[in-house]
Each structure stands twice: as C-alpha cells, then as structure tokens.
Amino acid sequence: MSLSKTTLTSSKYYKKLVNLLVLLVIYGIVQLLISIGILGDYYQVTLAMICINIILAVSLNLVTGFTGQFSLGHAGFMAIGAYTCAIITKSYDSPVAFIIGIFAAAVLAAIVGVLVGIPTLRLKGDYLAIATLGLAEIIRILILNFDDFTGGARGLGSIPQYTNWTWLYLFTISTIIIIKNFIDSSLGRACISIREDEIASESVGINLTKYKVLAFVIGAFFAGIAGALYASYFYYIKPDLFNFMKSIDILVIVVLGGMGSLSGSILAAILLALISSYLQSFAELRMVIYAILLLLIMIFRPQGLMGTKEFSLSKILRKKQTSHENSAS
C-alpha cells in the first residue's frame, strides 16, 4: 500500500520534471538559434506574434471556451495593456519600469474587466457579444481622443524595446500554466458547469455572476499582459491596431483550435501564424487563400482542431510504455 503510494507521488514528480525539461529544452534551442543568427529578424517577429497570439487565445478561451461567454472585446483589453505599458516605459526608460509596466498593464486591464464585466455579463449570447464589442470600440475611441497621453490617431512611437524571446516565452508559459491550473481547480469546474447549463448550475448553488466575472477578469488580465508585450516589442502602437478585426482574429484562433482546449488554441495560434507568413509570397491572393483554408478546416473539423481534448506529453509517454509492455509480454 505505502509502496504504491510512493511510486505514485514519485511518478507525479517525474512527470512534472519531464514537462519542465521539455519546456527548458524548447527555450534553449530557440535561444541558441537566435544567438547564432539562424533565426533572423523575420522569424523572430513571427515568433513574437505567435507568443502574443497564444497568450491572447488562451485567455479568450477561458472566457469563451470554458465559461461559455461569447466575448468580442478582447482587443479592448489588449489596447489598455499596450498603452499602459507604452506610456510607463516611455516616461521611465529602464528594465524595472518595463516589469512594472507589464504588471500595471495587467492590473489596469483587470480593473476595467471588473467594471465592464459586472454590468454586461448579465446578458446572454448575441447581446453579450455585441455589448463587449461595443465596449472595446468605446475603449478604442477614448484612446483615440485622449491625444495628450496616447498620441491620438498618430499613435505612440519610439517605445523602448524590452520584450525579447526570454520574456515572451516566460509570460506565454506562465499564462498557460496559470489558466490550466485555474480550469482544473474547483473555481474552473464551476466555470465549466456554467458553460454546460446556466440554470442547472445556478440551482446547485453556483453564483453565476461571480464566476463569469472571475473568468472575464482573468481573461482581461492576460490580454493586458499580451498588449504590454506587443507594445514593447514593436516600438509603435496606434488605436487602429486594436479595432474590431483584432478581436475577431483572436476569436478565430480560439474557434479554430477548439473551444475548450488550451492546447488547441496554442496549436491554432502557431498554425495560423505559419500559414499567414508562408502565404506572404502570394501577395494579393493571401487573404483569399487564408479565408479558404479557414473555411475548409471548419467544414471538416467543425469542433475545431482539438475539440475539447488536451495534448499531454505524459499521456503519450505512458501510452508508449504500455504498448511496449504489451508487445514484450
């Protein structure tokens, strides 16, 4: 009895160790390729977009996929994060200010998320989508009109660049881990039950507004981080970057990857970035091919690439092990 228990806990640690090792190896390989110069500037920009899109898609997946609240306002939170971090790092140009900027961006986006979420999350379906879309547009128009801080339509230029592969990777991985742990917790299960059936979950004592707002605020928090990383990587931001289409882009990643699958969102973010960078050589036809590909994927996999399944390294290892044992015996 005690023996099986110790092997169980040791295998748990072993699994975590393997996962950690894989993450470190991926980080090391990419860092090595960047420092040697094999991965040029072009690939680095694609890599940064992939990381930022993963953060956005995973956080939107928590709201849309797991809690079932159809939100079209994710770009608004990203805009808040981007402008907060940009203004802070432009006023105090130092690495410490960058870190403070990221957290200020995340916290400010979360605060706006609370203020926005409490009134609008009473709505359902299309109404919620339109209301969140409207709020994102209001945020964008306000940024456009506060010329003194934000530069208005001209945008905000010469933002000091602090975001590099290390920061991007760190924040992407921690976003995924935090949201994964949230979903596996009792709070996350309450959110999933809201997605399945609102009335049933309310009747077993789940406070609908509380959990919806909680998921929404966590989503907004990470969207703020993604915005801050974006602003600090690309030197320049303007309100038009965070318009309605940006929200749709994020939603496309979530739906394509599968609503309710974090690994699906990650896979879709990587796939879409690769497709759109590969199609650069087709110039005018690029958006047409992109749209056709999306249509084809949605026709043949209506539930998204991963459905609600998750990719798990330890599960694959275990499967291999058992098949080996089977073939050996």
Partner 1 sequence: MGMLPGLKAFVAAVFGGIGIIPGALIGGITIGVVETMVSGYASSLYKDAVAFAILILVLLIKPSGLLGKNTREKV
Residue 209 touching partner 1 (CB under 8 A): no
Two tokens at 233? Answer: 């990587």
Distance CA 191, CA 114 (A): 16
Residue 139 vs 306, nearer CB to partner 1: 139
Among 39, 45, 123, 294, binds partner 1 (CB under 8 A): 123
Which strand (E) or helix (H) includes residue 291?
Answer: helix 286-300
Provide, rounded to whole angstroms, the least separation between the CB of residue 199 and partner 1: 5
Residue 112 touching partner 1 (CB under 8 A): no
Residue 173 touching partner 1 (CB under 8 A): no
Torsion of CA 317, 318, 321, 326, to 10 degrees: -140
Residue 87 vs 137, nearer CB to partner 1: 137
Two tokens at 218? Answer: 């966590």
**How many Cα atoms within 13 Å fall on the side-chain side of residue 135?**
25
Residue 149 touching partner 1 (CB under 8 A): no
Residue 114 touching partner 1 (CB under 8 A): no
Residues 229-258 interacting with partner 1 (rule: CB under 8 A): 244
H-type alpha helices, 234-285: 244-257, 262-278
Two tokens at 138? Answer: 């209001």
- Could you tell me how many residues of this chain bind partner 1 (CB under 8 A)? 18
Residue 1 touching partner 1 (CB under 8 A): no
Among 134, 180, 275, 309, binds partner 1 (CB under 8 A): 134
Residue 202 vs 310, nearer CB to partner 1: 202
Residue 206 touching partner 1 (CB under 8 A): no
Residue 40 touching partner 1 (CB under 8 A): no
Query: Phi/psi at 156 (nearest 5 deg)?
Result: -115, 115
Residue 141 touching partner 1 (CB under 8 A): yes
Task: Give the C-alpha distances (Å, rounded to integers) separating 3 from 8, 11, 322.
Answer: 9, 12, 21
Query: Phi/psi at 7 (nearest 5 deg)?
Result: -65, -35
Interface stretch with partner 1, choices 63-71, 74-82, 97-105, 114-122 (CB under 8 A): 114-122
Query: Phi/psi at 232 (nearest 5 deg)?
Result: -80, -10
Residue 125 touching partner 1 (CB under 8 A): no
Please, are residues 325 and 30 in contact by the beta-carbon 8 Å criterion? no
Distance CA 188, CA 282 (A): 43
Task: Give the C-alpha distances (Å, rounded to integers) separating 178 from 62, 173, 174, 183, 271.
Answer: 11, 9, 6, 9, 23
Residue 234 vs 290, nearer CB to partner 1: 290
Provide, rounded to whole angstroms, the least separation between the CB of residue 311 and partner 1: 35
H-type alpha helices, 61-124: 74-91, 95-120
Among 52, 79, 133, 259, binds partner 1 (CB under 8 A): 133
The one-letter amino acid at 162: Y
Residue 134 vs 307, nearer CB to partner 1: 134
Residue 144 touching partner 1 (CB under 8 A): yes
Provide, rounded to whole angstroms, the least separation between the CB of residue 295 and partner 1: 20
Interface stretch with partner 1, choices 36-44, 57-65, 138-146, 251-259 (CB under 8 A): 138-146
Binding site for partner 1 (CB under 8 A): 119-120, 122-123, 127, 130-131, 133-135, 137-138, 141-142, 144-145, 199, 244
